[in-house]
Chains A and B, each alone.
Chain A
Amino acid sequence: MKKASTYLFSVILTILLILSMLGTIGLMLMKFRALNAGTCLQLVQSQDLAERVHQSLEKYYQEQENVTGIPLSVYADSISTGECDKLIRLSITNAFGYMNGTVDEFGIKPDFSELKADMTAFFEDYAEKNDFEKDETYQKKLDEAQLAAQTNIKTECDVFRFATLQEAGLIDKVKKVVPYVGFGLIGCAAADLLLFLLLLAVNRKEKQHVWYWLGNSLLVSAILIMIPAVWLNVTRWFDKFAVKTDQIFAAVTGYLYGLTHAAITAAGVAILLAVCSYILFIIQHRMRNARTNGR
């Protein structure tokens, strides 16, 4: 860093490299973590979401028995943990498929034939025992009850609230952005390489300094990512969400904490690479000094 102009150019290029690296890490997190269905599918198991949904539905229909007169046993097969698991996974793969463009239509159409059959059997049995005429009103009540049950089960299994986000227009907005994430990532990686080569050109007389500037870029971008991620984790910021439904709270906070953990890991790797760069710089710097002193 003997010449002021070299130093100034190096600082400018390093700032640009930091921004470019932030973009690269951010887009990597977005592509491989935030927009990846696998992240949410993993949470289904790790957060025991199917069991939580099952318990919530069971409690709901137990309470509803007082209002509708339909016992929990009618819904038992359709709200089993296995069925809930299937529906949760279906809603996740559909939403991510829609956002990634592999599925054309948003929303799931699960097979509720078993639920319909169980409810019809109960209604018919009840009508027969109570001499209730199977007229238009009967059919209307049956249809209403079936539709309400299907909607309720579907809503409860949509633990990431994709339907609400779609109604608010967010899913369509994300869908428009998704195709550019890959291009953005390639662009940022190319910019990283280009800026590194430019740093190499600027520091061609003292090539060891390139490692110093690269270390600076990695360290600063890692710190800028790590500080907010660690703060969110340490303060358990996402726990402040006023979500009263257990399974949605577990799903949403699990997803967001997963993202912050991934960000911390990425920043940790960047810090490790920065340390390696600094070590390379020190070794080369000392070797160069030794050669100069030897002459």
Chain B
Amino acid sequence: MAKTKDTNQEAQKRSGALGYFLTPILLLALCGGLAVLCYSLAPAHDVQRYLNLAFMDTLKVTSTTSGLNIRHRDIKTDDQNTTEDKPKLQEGKINYPTFGEQYAKLEAKSINLMVGVYYGVNSELLSRGACQSTQSAIFGTVGNHIIDAHVNTFFAELHNLAVGDTVTMYTDYGKFTYEVTEKIEFNKNDKKYVGVTKDDVLTLYTCAPQVIGSSDTRIGVRCALKEKEFYEPLES
């Protein structure tokens, strides 16, 4: 009889200890569930909206672009790619550039200009050379090839280009020769010269030189394609 009583007491003790151990787990499960429920009801989206508004890439004044991969192609400017015996290819393979890639070189002998042309425009690329708008046509295709650069650096002498002068664009897949047909001047908000064209034209522009402060006026030249030459034939 006494033995049975002892066994019962032992079992009670054991279940009591288990209760002490399980109670905090039960409480944690209950309160955790309650917390999850409160979180789903709480205006968490509002908090996220404010975070997005304040901190998610809203600063457009940044001088660099995240993920900008600046690369340079091996571009020959002394006609090494062609020989006199070889017929000049009017159509050929185009190596399309990616953003931040220097895929061309611009030469204007009349103003002693030779500058690398980057595909894409931002302050980082503008500090390195001339930049071609990504909305413009790639050399080798028909359309408006729009290039700009700073007036205080690479395009300082652009205003000296005259009608009839030659501008040559060198790429690693071809050489494109243009002739200046028009000197242009337009407001920075005017899209007349930086829009799409049916003909193969080259538009070079920069800020109008101004004594102080930045100018709202853009000056430059419009050029027409005179000659083109591809280095490699189109792949079948």
- Residues facing B in A141-165 (CB within 8 A) are 141-142, 144-145, 152, 155, 161, 164-165
Interface range on chain B (Cβ under 8 Å from partner): 35 or more
Given A219-B24, A241-B55, are A67 and B214 also a contact pair (CB < 8 Å)?
Answer: yes
**Residue interface bits A42-69, CB-to-B below 8 A is 1, else 0:** 0000000000000010011001011111
Whether A130 pairs with B27 at a CB distance below 8 angstroms is no
Whether A168 pairs with B50 at a CB distance below 8 angstroms is yes
**Residue interface bits B195-214, CB-to-A below 8 A is 1, else 0:** 00000000000010011111
Whether B61 pairs with A152 at a CB distance below 8 angstroms is yes
Is B37 close to A, CB under 8 A?
Answer: no
Is B113 close to A, CB under 8 A?
Answer: no
Which of A19, A138, A219, A245 lies at the interface centre, i.e. has the most chain B CB atoms within 10 A of its CB?
A245
CA distance A67 to B151 in the complex (A): 7
Whether A243 pairs with B210 at a CB distance below 8 angstroms is no
**Residue interface bits A192-236, CB-to-B below 8 A is 1, else 0:** 000000000000000000001000100111011000000000000
Q: Which of A19, A60, A152, A220 contacts B28 (CB 8 A)?
A: A220
Is A70 close to B, CB under 8 A?
Answer: yes
Residues of A within 8 Å of B51, CB to CB, are: 241
Residues of B within 8 Å of A1, CB to CB, are: 16, 19-20
Whether B57 pairs with A14 at a CB distance below 8 angstroms is no
CA distance A223 to B29 in the complex (A): 11
Whether B58 pairs with A164 at a CB distance below 8 angstroms is yes
Interface SS majority for chain A: helix
Whether A63 pairs with B214 at a CB distance below 8 angstroms is no
Whether B56 pairs with A241 at a CB distance below 8 angstroms is yes
Whether B212 pairs with A126 at a CB distance below 8 angstroms is yes
CA distance A66 to B53 in the complex (A): 31
Residues of B within 8 Å of A144, CB to CB, are: 213
Residues of B within 8 Å of A170, CB to CB, are: 50, 54
**Residue interface bits A225-257, CB-to-B below 8 A is 1, else 0:** 000000000000000011111001000100000
Is A11 close to B, CB under 8 A?
Answer: yes
Is B98 close to A, CB under 8 A?
Answer: no
Given A161-B54, A244-B66, are A15 and B211 also a contact pair (CB < 8 Å)?
Answer: no
CA distance A223 to B213 in the complex (A): 59
Whether A132 pairs with B211 at a CB distance below 8 angstroms is yes
Whether A19 pairs with B31 at a CB distance below 8 angstroms is yes
Chain A proximity of B124: nearest CB distance (Å): 8
Chain B proximity of A61: nearest CB distance (Å): 10
Is A18 close to B, CB under 8 A?
Answer: yes
CA distance A216 to B19 in the complex (A): 13
Whether B53 pairs with A164 at a CB distance below 8 angstroms is yes
Q: Which residue of B lies closest to A245 (CB)?
A: B59
Q: Which residue of A lies closest to B25 (CB)?
A: A220
Residues of A within 8 Å of B34, CB to CB, are: 15, 19
Residues of A within 8 Å of B160, CB to CB, are: none
Is B184 close to A, CB under 8 A?
Answer: no
Chain B proximity of A125: nearest CB distance (Å): 10
- Residues facing A in B22-40 (CB within 8 A) are 23-24, 26-28, 30-32, 34-35
List, sorted by A's number, 8 A–B pairs whose CB atoms are closer than 8 Å.
A11-B27, A56-B63, A70-B213, A132-B212, A164-B58, A220-B27, A220-B31, A224-B28
**Which 4 pairs from chain A and chain B are nearest by CB?**
A66-B150, A141-B213, A161-B54, A242-B57
